Structure 1
Amino acid sequence: MTIEDIEAAARRFSGRVLTTPLVASPSLSKRCGVPVGLKLEHHQTTGSFKLRGATNAVLSLSNEERARGVVAASTGNHGRALAHAARAEGSLATICMSHLVPENKVSEIRRLGADVRIVGSSQDEAQEEVERLVAEKGLVMVPPFDHPAVVAGQGTLGLEIVEQMPDVALVLVPVSGGGLAAGVAAAVKARRPATRVIGLTMERGAAMQASLAAGKPVLVEEQPSLADSLGGGIGLDNRVTFRMCRELLDDIILLTEGEIAAGMRHAYAEEREIVEGAGAVGIAALLAGKINDIDGPIAVILSGRNVHMGLHLSVMNGETDPFRKEAAA
């Protein structure tokens, strides 16, 4: 993965994907003692950064491949993005998801015209259905993260950050399978090698962090979390994102459910932004004092807004861990 791949992705989907704003956060800047900017990627057309990678991947296919149809496993946001990107190019998307994916995300994917398959209780089980459909029906797999075109598409967000905040010293990025983190880190470090990029994820089922600690991709138990978009494994045969995250990320920090809830509340009360749990992890890490050695401007990626509004309301009303009984069961 090179900076040229990321620059090519930006050119390829120009006009199809929004350039999202990066705005100052007075409250977080005061708390941290340095300028803090919020990259409002949750304002993206489908409500998350996933549209970048999905669109680049679909546009990179041949006409024959698009005619066969695309398929992917998803925790929700990639499925929504792929359904949108496929429909825009006259292709049909099939999205496989586990029972852990919130219904609001499932219904939106159906609304976009995708064929939805609900399979099992983990991302890995959904992926097994994807592989069956590829083998039996000839569909073209567009993975949610471990694919060069997907990573390059997500990396365009890093290009925008450097253009919008040229003196950025630290970028805080959500990390799950690593497509966003790898792409952003590749872009940012190509343009500003001294800038640190730190990945953020929830304590429950932190697949990339566990894999990096083990020195190889490992399986983790997928558990309910406010940051549901960060759930799922990285794939035992991971080819792209594990290596890139190992080489490019400066650290990965884990957050409790209570800390994620606090991040969501701050986004709403202080920034007037509605974000899902995965989108709030950067704010959460700053509020919890988990970022050390702050020596310059910080860019915080708000990666998605596709939260069930009933859940969002309960968090705004003080709920810190709606899933604790399920997680303990």
Structure 2
Amino acid sequence: MLTYADIQAAATRLRDQVLQTPCVESETLSQIVGAQVFLKFENLQFTASFKERGASNRLQLLSAEEKARGVIAMSAGNHAQGVAYHAQRMGLRAVIVMPRFTPGVKVERTRGFGAEVVLHGDTLEEARQHAFLLSKEQNLTFVHPFDDEAVAAGQGTLALEMLAVQPDLDTLVVAIGGGGLIAGVATAAKALKPGIRVVGVQTQRFPSMLNAVQGTDLPMGQSTIAEGIAVATAGTITREVVKRLVDELLLVDEGDIEQAVLMLLEIEKTLVEGAGAAGLAALIRHREKFAGQKVGLILSGGNIDPLLLAAIIERGMVRSGRLARVRVSARDVPGVLAQITATVAAAGANIEEVHHQRAFTLLAAQNVEIDFVLQTRNQQHVEQVLEALRAAGMQAARA
């Protein structure tokens, strides 16, 4: 059984191995969600994830014989990099099995830490099975990403740090994939402060821990922007800890996570991946459950694909009205485009894209339909632009 003593011992081992990350209040986020919000910046670790803690603790507990043989792990991201980096620091052989769909940047970064990367299977489960096979064939020690007491103990050290600097926290909000992080955090936090509330967060597309603990049968999805917690089967060890120590499990949807990623980028100027923003997403979605409390959030990782980040930013701009698509119908005569663009400019908007539509329209043949993508200030500003176009004698609406 995972114990508080295990986590204390892990903290001693990790003292010079990982960064003791900041845990500070975000005044702006606190005002927005109606609770006092403290952020634990685990995205500042060298590999940009809390996974380093569990990986380093597990590797340090290997026997001399196990160290000589080397280790193997299965992961599509943060655990892979954590194991590879700390194995390299300790001079150990590390084999990492990753699914074939793993983004090239993660594969190359893992290789950059000196690991031998094996690409196998189209799913994490296929990669895991292959890792077990290689472990037996090559006599390597398997380092599980979450269902391992030493790994969970390492993850729990961040809760010791949080409560050391913010001892009066009322609630900790923790993202859940397989459960290693919340198992460690809940064990440490409840030992230090029995009355503290621990809340777990999963995506609606991957409610595996909620199903395991509550006996429900919510459907599992295929993908999520929070791929770091897209785990189809909760850990055996971790689910028992969650049953005993976690007070509530909440679900968030993709839009909540997108909004949280963007808020952290804009407000805190910090980059988090989808899984790292799940805690804030829960505060946004279920703010009535945290009103007036002192809440600790773990920004668990910052490894996000640049193309995904670009899409999240653009979609967020659309939702807030800073990017808008409008359709203008007018007489197809010389100078009409100049008149439209001048009207848009006078209303204070900037034109990003223009698309003329003559053939694929139901308008009269002498009319033209023009789609614009505009940079605007907010939703109210979009309406002001539309009113200006209508006042100039054109038909204008959101596209």
TM over 0.5: yes
| Correspondences of 1:150-299 after superposition (within 5 Å) | 150-214=151-215, 221=220, 223-234=222-233, 238-290=235-287, 292-299=289-296
Aligned equivalents of 2:219 and 2:71: distance in 1? 27
User: Residue 139 of structure 1 corresponds to which residue in structure 2?
Assistant: 140
C-alpha deviation, 1:206, in angstroms? 2.4
Aligned equivalents of 2:226 and 2:96: distance in 1? 20
Higher relative contact order (CA 8 A, sep 6+): 1
Matched AA of 2:222: Q
Unpaired runs of at least 5, structure 1: 321-329
222-231 vs 264-273, greater mean Cα deviation: 222-231
Matched AA of 2:83: L
User: Residue 54 of structure 1 corresponds to which residue in structure 2?
Assistant: 55
Matched AA of 1:134: S
CA contact (8 A) 1:46 1:81 kept: yes
Give the TM-score of the pair, scaled to structure 2.
0.76
Distance 1:99 1:188, change over 3 A: same
User: Residue 318 of structure 1 corresponds to which residue in structure 2?
Assistant: 315
Percent identity between the two aligned chains: 39
Distance 1:194 1:294, change over 3 A: farther
Aligned equivalents of 1:136 and 1:315: distance in 2? 43
Unpaired runs of at least 5, structure 2: 318-399
Distance 1:106 1:207, change over 3 A: farther
Query: What are the superposed Cα offsets for residues 205-256 of structure 1, whole Å, 9 maximum, x if unpaired?
Result: 22212222328xx997562211011112336xx4411101111111121111
CA contact (8 A) 1:285 1:291 kept: no
SS for the counterpart of 1:131 is helix
* Structure index of larger Rg: 2
C-alpha deviation, 1:294, in angstroms? 3.5
Once superposed, what is the RMSD of the aligned Cα atoms? 1.9
Aligned equivalents of 1:82 and 1:222: distance in 2? 28
User: Residue 327 of structure 1 corresponds to which residue in structure 2?
Assistant: none
Matched AA of 1:86: A
Greater share of residues in strand: 2
Distance 1:206 1:96, change over 3 A: farther
User: Residue 302 of structure 2 corresponds to which residue in structure 1?
Assistant: 305
Q: Return structure 1 stretches of 4+ with deviation > 4 angstroms.
A: 218-222
SS for the counterpart of 1:152 is helix
C-alpha deviation, 1:143, in angstroms? 0.3
Count of residue pairs brought into register by the alignment: 316
CA contact (8 A) 2:283 2:290 kept: no
Query: What are the superposed Cα offsets for residues 54-80 of structure 1, whole Å, 9 maximum, x if unpaired?
Result: 000000001210121111111310000
C-alpha deviation, 1:123, in angstroms? 1.9
Distance 1:194 1:289, change over 3 A: same
C-alpha deviation, 1:185, in angstroms? 0.6
CA contact (8 A) 1:101 1:228 kept: no
Aligned equivalents of 2:274 and 2:94: distance in 1? 26
Aligned equivalents of 2:178 and 2:101: distance in 1? 17
Aligned equivalents of 2:219 and 2:151: distance in 1? 23
CA contact (8 A) 1:3 1:190 kept: yes
Query: What are the superposed Cα offsets for residues 161-194 of structure 1, whole Å, 9 maximum, x if unpaired?
Result: 1111100001011100000011001101110111
